[in-house]
Structure 1
Amino acid sequence: MSSVTPYVMVDDATVFRAFLEQVFEAEVTDVVPLPTDPKRMIHAQAHIGDSSLFFADSGPDGGRCLSSPTEPVHVQLWSQVPDPEGAYERAITAGARPAAPVTVQADGSRMGGFVDPFGTLWWVTAPA
Structure 2
Amino acid sequence: MSAVTPYVMVDDATVFRAFLEQVFDAQVPTVVPLPSDPGRIMHAEARIGESSLYFADSGAAGERCLRSPQEPVHVQLWSTVPDPEAAHERALAAGARSAAPVGVQDDGSRMGAFVDPFGTLWWVTAPA
Q: TM-score, normalised by structure 2?
A: 0.49
Q: TM-score, normalised by structure 1?
A: 0.49
